A and B are shown apart, each in its own frame.
Chain A
Amino acid sequence: MPRLLHEIVDESAARAPDAEAFRFSDSALTYAGLAERSARLAHVLAAEGVRPGDRVGVYLRKGLETAVAVYGILRAGAAFVPLDPKLPPARLGAVLRDAGVGHVVSHDALRAQLLALGAEAPAGLRLVGPEAADLEAAGLETISWAEVDAAPASGPLVTWDAGDMAYLMYTSGSTGLPKGIVHTHASGLAYARCAADVYGLDPRDRISGFAPLHFDQSTFDLFAGPLAGATAVVVPEPHMMMPASLAALIEAERLTVWYSVPYALTQLLLRGALDTRDLTALRWVLYGGEAFPMKHLRALMARWPHARFSNVYGPAEVNQCTVHHLDAPPSPDAEAVPIGPAWPAATCRVLDGEAPAAPGVPGELAVATPTMMEGYWNRPDLNARVFVRLGGDPRLGGERFYRTGDLVREAPDGALWFLGRMDRQVKVRGHRVELDEVEAVLVQHPAVAEAAVYAVDAADGARAVHAAVSLRPEADPPTAADLLAHARAHLPPYALPARLDVAEAFPRTTSGKIDRRALQTEAALPTP
């Protein structure tokens, strides 16, 4: 049994060295090949000065290099930090500085983005992967993938502990800056074990590698699949936007297990031309990250009667903690399906304040599980808020629970029903967006006095972020395009307001706060 995340690959390589671990378009990486290539990368990272405990960025487009980077960084004793290629330079720079990243594994496909980083790059940042000489000229030290592949296939001699940090994943924070979630080898492995077990993964499985690395669903195909000796088929970025091409890929690759946000499945249903495809190899469809619009879920289940469907729930802080298996399509009058009971690795409690809620009474969902994060990176203030000790002998402090901020109700049969957020976090195509963070960014613009950001239902069951701002009277009035450019420089694309209005005055609640609910329904100026 592996004790550390990278031992997953070593053990699967020992069992079946020539089995495919990852496939991307026409190329594949066997388990032996992944073990060898990641060892070469670990050797280079150590030679470049990476030490156990360091954080190393992974800044890659989807492809086979992601698995090499992840396992190579772990083998070097360091933790990997997923970096979204779509982040604007200012936000990427903020993440690199917050994580204290000194090395980033990347490639030439992101040369333009790396050059655009400019002064936002931490001093002395070193890049492993790209070859371009212009990066060196811009002050970024580089070592190419060709050099990595020429390095000895023996990783450095480092000692690990299962409690060591394995990855640091950033997510939306309400203050205007993202926050880092620290997972250890132990929490990642506990997740991989439980997922491989619950979904019965085995070496014959061909799993969708749909989520990009910076999205927490990626740990499924990155860790759980390899633990079972399965093959993860990495879905190329263009396929993620072209449902008919995606359906063709699922058929051609004979995928057996699918995992994505509901939005991708809705697109497949509506625009995948599914009646032209034989997708009967699919045995299990997992979805999570947000609610699946019932009519689309019903239609897809009717279309794929050969597949089992499961609603997977769990914030990135705990990987996963509940699952609801659907035995049949939801009934025509069903408005939702539960998020499930706790899955085997987790204990769930519904809280009323700090204490357990009475049975059936809605409350905050708290989770204790070995798949849980160690805490937020360098945020003792947040950690003091989100962890609570419950149960057991009070003298021993009880068990540590993570407070999810999600409001749930437990039905008499043990099913948990998601009722909403306790704060102002929303999901946009599965991405977490803190509306307070978008407001915090907008009011940083010198001409903005106040901002109100709210979510509305958009087409295809997705949610969209809308914003209204009031202006400082003394400032030169900016255009909506100016304000959007400001937002674009500081927020990831999915958090950008789809509509931005300039308001003369905001509706107010009796306590004087901006009445965001009223704004949602109020007619306002169209965006130019």
Chain B
Amino acid sequence: MTTEERLTTYIGQELLADGGPPLQPDDNLLLSGRVDSIGVMSLLLFIETEMGVRVPPEDVTIDHFASVRAIDTYLAGRQNGSAHG
């Protein structure tokens, strides 16, 4: 599975379950009211423990977490950064 697919599956199965339409990569997770603040914390835990990417607090921003695509882009940058660092 790609990172995008893993995120979509996790968010769709664990955080949404609201019977709404399936999650799209560009859906705004934070504005739609579909993921709440507890859901955001669960998602961070998933990224850190299941995907093995540490997310420092200053990186938990709207730009990085607004959608599945945004998270994917952020994580790709993080992994490249750590590979070089």
Contacts and interface: CB of A to CB of B under 8 A. Distances in A.
Contact of A245 (B17, B33, B41, B62): B62
Contact of B40 (A241, A272, A494): A241
A237 B41 CA distance: 16
Contacts of A237: 30-31, 33
Contacts of A241: 30, 35-37, 40
A276 B58 contact: yes
Instruction: Output the residue of A237, A244, A267, A270 with the most chain B CB within 10 A.
Output: A244
B81 interface: no
B57 A242 contact: no
B19 interface: yes
B65 to A, nearest CB: 6
Instruction: Output the residue of A238, A481, A493, A494 with the most chain B CB within 10 A.
Output: A238
Given A241-B30, A245-B62, A493-B36, A270 B57 contact: yes
B10 to A, nearest CB: 15
Given A485-B19, A493-B36, A238 B57 contact: no
B80 interface: no
B57 A244 contact: yes
A85 B31 CA distance: 11
Interface string A254-278: 0000000001000100111100100
A61 interface: yes
A188 interface: no
Interface residues of A, number: 31
Contact of B41 (A239, A459, A488): A459
Nearest to B20: A112
B61 interface: yes
Interface string B5-35: 0000000000001110000000010110101
Given A459-B41, A484-B17, A485-B19, A242 B60 contact: yes
Given A241-B30, A459-B41, A272 B35 contact: no
Contacts of B56: 273
Interface in B30-68: 30-31, 33, 35-38, 40-41, 56-63, 65-66
Nearest to B33: A86
A155 interface: no
A241 B35 CA distance: 9
B60 A244 contact: yes
B60 A238 contact: no
B61 A244 contact: yes
Instruction: Output the residue of A267, A271, A276, A459 with the most chain B CB within 10 A.
Output: A271
A431 to B, nearest CB: 11
Given A271-B60, A276-B58, A493-B36, A242 B18 contact: no
B74 to A, nearest CB: 12
B-side interface size class: 20 to 34
Contact of A244 (B37, B38, B58): B58
Contacts of B57: 243-244, 270-273
B37 A245 contact: no
Given A242-B40, A243-B57, A244-B61, A61 B19 contact: no
A140 interface: no
Nearest to B55: A271
Contacts of B58: 244, 273, 276
Given A243-B60, A245-B61, A276-B58, A238 B30 contact: yes
Contacts of A244: 57-61
A271 to B, nearest CB: 4
B41 A238 contact: no
Contact of A267 (B37, B59, B61, B65): B37
A242 B61 contact: yes
Contacts of A86: 33
A85 B36 CA distance: 13
A240 interface: yes
A86 B34 CA distance: 8
B22 to A, nearest CB: 14
Contacts of B41: 459-460
B56 to A, nearest CB: 8
A206 to B, nearest CB: 20
Given A85-B33, A484-B17, A239 B60 contact: no
A348 B19 CA distance: 47
A217 to B, nearest CB: 16
A61 B31 contact: yes
A378 to B, nearest CB: 29
Given A267-B37, A273-B57, A276-B58, A242 B19 contact: no
B38 to A, nearest CB: 8
Interface of A: 61, 85-86, 237-245, 248, 263, 267, 270-273, 276, 429, 459-460, 462, 481, 484-485, 488, 493-494, 498
20 contacts: A61-B31, A86-B33, A238-B30, A238-B62, A241-B40, A242-B40, A242-B61, A242-B65, A244-B58, A263-B37, A267-B37, A270-B57, A271-B57, A273-B56, A276-B58, A462-B38, A484-B17, A485-B17, A488-B17, A493-B36
Given A86-B33, A243-B57, A273-B57, 8 more contacts: A237-B31, A238-B66, A241-B37, A244-B57, A244-B58, A244-B59, A248-B61, A270-B57
Interface of B: 17-19, 28, 30-31, 33, 35-38, 40-41, 56-63, 65-66
The 4 lowest CB-CB distance pairs between A and B, nearest first, are: A273-B58, A238-B30, A271-B57, A245-B62
